[in-house]
Amino acid sequence: MNRTTHATHDSQAVETGWLRLADIAAFQHWSAELTQAWDESRPCVKVCDGTGCRALGSQKVLSGLRAACQKADLPIPLEIVGTGCPGFCECGPLLTIYPQKISYQKIKPNDVKEIVERTLVGGEIIERLLYTDPLTGEHIHREPDLPFYNKQLRQVLDFNGRIDPTRIEEYVALGGYRALVKALSELEPKQVIDEVKAAGLRGRGGAGFSTGLKWEIARQNIRRTGTGYIICNADEGDPGAFMDRSVMEGNPHSVIEGMLIGAYALGIQDGYVYIRAEYPLAVQNLQTAISQAEEIGLLGEDILGTGFTFHLRVRLGAGAFVCGEETALMASIEGRIGEPRPRPPYPAESGLWGQPTVINNVETWANVPLVIQRGSAAYAAVGTEKSKGTKIFSVVGKINNTGLVEVPMGITLREIIEDIGGGIPNGKRFKAAQLGGPSGGCVPVEHLDVPIDYESLSQLGAIMGSGGMVVADEDTCMVDFARYFMNFTQEESCGKCVPCRVGTKAMLATLERICAGYGEPGDLDYLLEMGQHVRDSSLCGLGQTAPNPVLSTLRYFRDEYEAHILEHRCPAHVCKGLITYSVIAELCTGCMVCLRNCPSDAITGAKQQVHAIDPLRCNRCGMCQSVCKFDAISVN
């Protein structure tokens, strides 16, 4: 069980040959042993091996590093660990050298040799790989000093970036599965539910329903029927959202432990994780984690000799957004078409295969061990009166520090955007942030100081959602922004009910017309009326929330819609039907670069003569503007 014997551990392989933990005492002994052996100050190199960094080449960095370290003459043997995503995706691949916690960023495979020679062997810091503060221009050496992490409160994401997610020992060494053992040995099932209720934990999937209350209702039904299911909804599908993916990739055991505690509290023996097949690494890490937990006796029959049995199965989804809706998700698990059905009956009453079912999303399950381990009072100390704990957001779009952030509830949007997110790139101005993905709404600049909690956000017409945050700057056209999300929900509508199937299509067609410059004065009333109708009359949450991006942009940016329709003008110069490119005669040097690059041969002119753009041939691709070195192309 000694950690150091696995120094060259391959993340693909699953450890075998463990002894099954016979009882709680055996677990406690093992856990204490691992914790004692865990030494945060031992020298090692941790490289983010999450999907984001992998896309940027972290696997080549990892293999290069392992090879180079074997060859190099290192003062002490060095462990090289591939970890889950710590969140700073903008600067990936990320590499942290322990014990000093030197943080190197945007590592390329070519940098590996230099890192080994200069830093690992020579003990010298390579300045060009450090994070540079955009404001002060200073290099920041240590990971904890990065402003990106400073204002975060990392509870759920705490182990991401610290442990190898494919090794159960590392999770246990840091206190993993102790919440389960606490529940099994000290708490009655009802007390577990009371704790979750008292902690004020609310569903992190969107609606924010009280998790404890949901469990309590389900438990009554389960006692009646004698059987039921719990499901982890890992069908994260919002554009630009990757919170749940990162939790499952970086810390899958926290989700398993949460589900175990839930199963114990509810008296359930079977659970499912419904995860989309587009998340191969998350699926792989989760399956590794499940088989490790089964082998060691933390999952399966007679867990730790307590008589408690829980089987967890993984079901892969084919990527339909609507399958994130709980009734559609259950239909999909049952092998039917992923279509929602009307509620009632609610899943807590009649869910999977007609049995009482509790569905929570990944982040909610991952919060459960924290509630039990720390106790409801300590958990509830973080957050606002009605929204407790932390929330993970994936901050994307027009923002400097794209990535995953975990913040305490009640933090203001401004702090997330400006302090953690590092503000808007290229000195542009912030315009709005879309919260809750295609089901949510936007928060404009005048409400930047809104505290992040369920109630405040819904008052503004946005939602907490599962935590997607898309930032728009002054160059974003809000009509086009709404059109983008409408296009998404329209394509993802299952088509079962009329308002969602046809209503979203009708709204999208109207938005497309407005963006193309053919908007009519009645269009806004139509969008409002139809938006309200789709929201009111659709069958499931997808349709009921689909008009939100349109309704909220109409609420805050009506002037932009009006400019498109009444003045035939796109204020942000985005909508192609409403912009024209022209040459500024005073600035044009007649270099012919734009002329040669124009894909539709719309530019005429000769050397050292002012060029001209034929608006009829121009396809508004913007190529001329991006290649012109003299800023001689204007858009109107």
Partner 1 sequence: MIELTINDQVYKVPPGRTILEACREFGIPIRTLCYHPALEPYGGCRLCMVEIAQPGRKPRLATACTYPCEAGLLVWTDSQRVKTSRRLTAELLLATATGAPEIEALARQLGVTTVRYCLPESDACVLCGLCVRACQEIVGVSAIGMIRRGIAKEVSPPFQVASATCIGCGTCVMICPTGVLTLEQITDYHSPHRQLRDGQEVYLDCELCAPQRRMGP
Which residues contact partner 1 by CB under 8 A? 320, 322, 337, 341-342, 344, 490-499, 501-506, 509-510, 522, 526, 529-530, 533, 536-539
Q: Which is nearer to partner 1, 292 or 544 (CB)?
A: 544
Tokens 């402003």 correspond to 147
Q: Which is nearer to partner 1, 49 or 492 (CB)?
A: 492
What is the nearest approach in angstroms of partner 1 to the Cβ of residue 510?
7
Upper half-sphere CA count for residue 424 (Cβ side, 13 Å): 17
What is the nearest approach in angstroms of partner 1 to the Cβ of residue 5?
51
What is the nearest approach in angstroms of partner 1 to the Cβ of residue 518?
13
Q: Which residues contact 586 (CB under 8 A, 6 or more apart)?
A: none
Per-residue b/e over 543-556, b at no fewer than 16 CB within 10 Å? bbbbbbbbbbbbeb
Q: Which is nearer to partner 1, 396 or 551 (CB)?
A: 551
- Report how far apart, in Å, the C-alpha atoms of 389 and of each of 176, 180, 182, 336, 413 are: 19, 19, 20, 36, 16
**Pairing state of beta strands 468-473 and 390-397?**
parallel
Cα distance between residue 472 and residue 469, in whole Å: 10
48, 85 Cβ separation under 8 angstroms: yes
What is the nearest approach in angstroms of partner 1 to the Cβ of residue 56?
33
**Pairing state of beta strands 229-234 and 581-583?**
unpaired
Q: Which is nearer to partner 1, 287 or 537 (CB)?
A: 537
What is the nearest approach in angstroms of partner 1 to the Cβ of residue 321?
10
Q: Which is nearer to partner 1, 479 or 539 (CB)?
A: 539
Q: Which is nearer to partner 1, 269 or 487 (CB)?
A: 487
Q: Which is nearer to partner 1, 115 or 497 (CB)?
A: 497
What is the nearest approach in angstroms of partner 1 to the Cβ of residue 468?
21
Q: Which is nearer to partner 1, 44 or 506 (CB)?
A: 506
Q: Which is nearer to partner 1, 126 or 524 (CB)?
A: 524
What is the nearest approach in angstroms of partner 1 to the Cβ of residue 491?
6
What is the nearest approach in angstroms of partner 1 to the Cβ of residue 534?
9
For 116-248, list the strands marked E by DSSP.
131-132, 139-140, 229-234
Return the closest-CA partner of residue 51 out of 324, 292, 291, 283.
283
What is the nearest approach in angstroms of partner 1 to the Cβ of residue 340?
9
Cα distance between residue 311 and residue 289, in whole Å: 13
What is the nearest approach in angstroms of partner 1 to the Cβ of residue 277?
17
Cα distance between residue 576 and residue 562, in whole Å: 17
Upper half-sphere CA count for residue 39 (Cβ side, 13 Å): 10
Q: Which is nearer to partner 1, 520 or 567 (CB)?
A: 520
Residue 306: count other Cβ atoms within 10 Å of its Cβ: 13
Coil, strand or helix at 522: coil
For 31-164, list the strands marked E by DSSP.
44-48, 79-83, 95-98, 102-104, 131-132, 139-140
Upper half-sphere CA count for residue 137 (Cβ side, 13 Å): 0
